[in-house]
Structure 1
């Protein structure tokens, strides 16, 4: 059998009720300038016309594997279904509403092949687009040459991951071997990114490729918008990841960064009225340092079970938008 000249890349495309966008996403995979691609499409029991669009597309371009889930197994498990049959050296996790620039895979493979084996992830800049496809803003602000104006963490980014959100998830290309060593995504969680960043960056290096290679669609009902919804389960997943980070931390600076992140989640628990979860976050924080009076005051408000969720969601939806650029994720 003739050996491929370049490594195979597996694109795992998970879709759930993305009828309006899935055809454009699929097209962006087929129009890649890189020829060695294994595409695995997983429909996670969509209830709109997503499945019909995929089947119509496959009738015209059958060169991809299609998995139809009879019920929604969750984002993480759906991705792992694809990972089980992935044959590529590298893997891309693609949502059914995002778009890859035509030469993205070609450029990321070329970059990855120059890196040592201790690099597990490449990520890049991205442009946010709205539901109609109109460009909003870039993930990292760029200069006239398209380069980021700020220095983006690269190499050992574990401390950076603990400190703040800075990686645009759909821009990542991951080494399949690294993913398999981690056991794929944690299927007990509602989302993959924060947990994957924590577990992978403590073991593998990350490389930032300073180009815009992906269009990330911003939708009002996206999973990230559910963090302030009472009972959504988002904050419970964050709590699980914080516990993992506690066990993985290597020095005091990392514990300090984790403590600051936990304080943020305690505030979010108040806004989401996840009062009991706030107390669990507080106990975890207490293992690291004294919570201090400000955090204890927030915890006290949680103990009083103040009904603040409606007011805060109104603020997020109507007032805060007036001061935050469209497309910005908070």
Structure 2
């Protein structure tokens, strides 16, 4: 890698809400990075478990680190945006402080960006999933004789991110220009990744780096596992993102890809009894021009169940 003065600054936004148990491992993994030009912004999003005291200790021991103490929980998207607007790095990492960065993470991803054209807005990679006791669970991508599963995609991947889930969110390094064009995360949403993928992939290319760069912590009560229950804001945010995707689609393949997503989301909503949301998802599916006979039946059933409840 070139002389450190010539290297781009990478901003790590370390966002914490009640991660006291995991914070030392997370913050030590920042200190262990081989990359020399890091800007670190710690954000405590009104934790109630002693996380703030840990973050203050690390900020005091590392005077170049900034610490943002939120008096109330702003939600993930707004808390990240506040730090992003304070940052100066050419590239950014949205780092949840229950995860762990492997020592070569930043070095490997910056090297990848430096080999890519400037229209690449994000580099992502493989991750090791670990449990709450830091024991190996599995890797994000399963390696088979036919290749990686789920199949990673590189280049212009707008249809891919509509159709299926394949990106490990904690492994993302984002180009600042991409976030600037988007205005950061959408602060009206409960979660950020699907919306970022959809909006960024419309105009920017993504690149898959075939390295394990991150340990992603999996929890028994993860937010995504409650995502389809009635009234859960995760599903509301998914619907908002699908509405955006509907406006952004331009080709027949993209309409088909969005229909695949909407069909799957609708059936999950029905499975967990979120019938009003399922009816909304069917209406969006109808607007793609791709509904199938079974979709119509499920849409009508959801609408009737929603009216009866």
Same fold at TM > 0.5: yes
- Greater CA deviation, 201-210 or 275-284? 275-284
Q: Where does structure 1 lack aligned partners over 5 or more consecutive residues? A: 307-330
- TM-score by length of structure 1 reads 0.87
What whole-Å deviation, never above 9, does each CA across 1:172-199 have from its counterpart, x for those lacking one? 1110011111100000110100000000
> 1:48 maps to what in 2?
49
> 2:32 maps to what in 1?
31
> 1:312 maps to what in 2?
none
Cα 1:167/1:62, change in 2 over 3 Å: same
> 1:67 maps to what in 2?
68
> 1:171 maps to what in 2?
171
1:273: Cα distance to partner? 2.5
SS of 2:227's partner is helix
> 1:211 maps to what in 2?
211
Cα 1:264/1:151, change in 2 over 3 Å: closer
What whole-Å deviation, never above 9, does each CA across 1:70-116 have from its counterpart, x for those lacking one? 11111001110111011111000100101000011011111111111
- Greater CA deviation, 161-170 or 227-236? 227-236
SS of 2:73's partner is coil
Matches within 5 A, 1:76-225: 76-142=77-143, 148=148, 152-225=152-225
8 Å CA contact 1:270, 1:301 repeated in 2 = no
CA distance in 2, matches of 1:143, 1:262: 28
CA distance in 2, matches of 1:286, 1:304: 17
CA distance in 1, matches of 2:84, 2:219: 26
CA distance in 1, matches of 2:57, 2:42: 13
SS of 1:202's partner is helix
8 Å CA contact 2:122, 2:206 repeated in 1 = yes
Cα 1:91/1:113, change in 2 over 3 Å: same
1:271: Cα distance to partner? 2.7
CA distance in 1, matches of 2:276, 2:79: 30
1:57: Cα distance to partner? 2.3
Matches within 5 A, 1:228-243: 228-243=228-243
SS of 1:92's partner is strand
The total of aligned residue pairs comes to 303
Runs of at least 4 residues of structure 1 off by over 3 A?
147-151, 303-306
> 1:291 maps to what in 2?
291
What whole-Å deviation, never above 9, does each CA across 1:10-35 have from its counterpart, x for those lacking one? 00111111111011111101110111
Q: Where does structure 2 lack aligned partners over 5 or more consecutive residues? A: none
8 Å CA contact 1:226, 1:232 repeated in 2 = yes
> What is the root-mean-square deviation in Å for CA atoms of aligned residues?
2.0
SS of 2:180's partner is helix
8 Å CA contact 1:273, 1:305 repeated in 2 = no
Cα 1:143/1:246, change in 2 over 3 Å: closer
SS of 1:200's partner is helix
8 Å CA contact 1:76, 1:191 repeated in 2 = yes
- TM-score by length of structure 2 reads 0.93
Cα 1:207/1:280, change in 2 over 3 Å: same
1:289: Cα distance to partner? 2.3
1:52: Cα distance to partner? 1.5
8 Å CA contact 1:32, 1:101 repeated in 2 = yes
1:288: Cα distance to partner? 1.8
8 Å CA contact 1:227, 1:272 repeated in 2 = no
